[in-house]
Structure 1
Amino acid sequence: MRYIVTGGAGFIGSNLVDTLAQHHDVVIIDNLATGRRVNIEHLLDHPRVTFIEGSITDLDLLMDTFPGADGIFHQAAIPSVPRSVKDPLASNEANVTGTVSVLVAAKDCGVPAVVAPHA
């Protein structure tokens, strides 16, 4: 099976990738805005893991990456309240527009499942 993990360089996303990569192919999409490369450094040479440094707001990137995926674990976000107060437009772009982009691309590419955390 092939899974996409958005925000896969974050704490939760990287641990999810660790688990999934034991038995499945995994593509990490992360722009490293809040995720950290150190969280996935040990996975970069893993034969089942592909890392794409990019944004979930890039619909073309998502449309190129999602075909053939069996599921998407959507972990990408800017989770900081202080950052959202300081720059609400950037937080909205990542958290709202990014999530809509993931959902649209998943639908258009025929991905059967998107799992996202409940806020």
Structure 2
Amino acid sequence: MLFDGRSPTSEGYTHLVDLAQWIESLLGERVRSHIIIADSDKPAALDWNGSILLDIKSELHQIYGAGAESAYLIRPDGYIGFRSQPIQKEPMLHYLKELFQLTGDIKEDREIR
């Protein structure tokens, strides 16, 4: 789950989309990205055709403490496996490498804005 935080920006949405695309290119069908928006409508600045959840009352943002852009990896058993706030690519990459036993060229060089 990728949260936009309390003060979303166009740049922030670009960052979330880049991260979601990077995760999908890295893991394919093993992980699905959901961008969580604290609003009642999809922002015009959000150029993402994937899963979007409109968190109208900001309940998920509050439950997960997502006051800023945040990334959460929820395990199949419902527990939080990884959290990053603010979002940092390198710790996430390290966690995903360990979790999915990734080896070889895993496109580490793709820049996340």
* Superposition TM-score, scaled by structure 2 size: 0.42
Structure with a larger share of its residues in helix: 1
